[in-house]
Amino acid sequence: MVKYSLVGYDGSDASRRAFQFAIELARCAHGRVRVVSVLQVTEGGADACALMMADSGTRRAQELLEELQAMVPDAASLVDVELIHGSPGDVLLSQIEQHGIDHIVIGHTERGALARWLLGSVSGNVLARAHVPVTVVR
């Protein structure tokens, strides 16, 4: 049975649906949900990343928890929240070993072929590389 699900959360409708699905699953299985929001730094290098982490890490994690509680009032009792800087697919996959994740729930947004080719697909990356069950919520 699923005891610890991971949700990649970016505030999109798809990630909200994934979070709500994971919460319902956790309630049924008496499990927990780890919500990870990944911030990807594309410009500015290591200095910009260090400044951003020091400036907004704790505050953004609290804001994220408040956003989740607005959707699910008892979220604080069911979730662990973390804000991480890096590549979304790599960060989500690294959580499996680090935190004993036994299931991933990820939202998927339909994009055209060109956007998918240029930007990649986090859900496709996770599906291809995860060694735990993955549920894609549309």
> What is the pLDDT of the chain when averaged over all its residues?
86
Q: Can you read off the two tokens belonging to residue 12? A: 């999109």
| The total number of structural domains that make up the chain | 1
- Look at 1 and 92; give whichever has higher pLDDT: 92
pLDDT band at 56 (very low <50, low <70, confident <90, very high): low
* Helix, coil or strand: residue 135: strand
- What is the pLDDT at residue 125? 85
**Model confidence pLDDT, tens digit, residues 72-119:** 999 999 999 999 989 999 999 999 999 999 999 998 776 655 545 544
> Could you list the residue range(s) of the whole structural domain that residue 81 is in?
4-137
Bin 85: left if φ > 0, else alpha if -120 < ψ < 50, else beta.
beta
- What is the pLDDT at residue 119? 44
- Look at 40 and 115; give whichever has higher pLDDT: 40
Task: Sort 26 into a burial class: Cβ within 10 Å, 0-12 / 13-18 / 19+.
Answer: buried
pTM for the whole structure = 0.84
Assign residue 53 the CATH number of its domain: 3.40.50.620
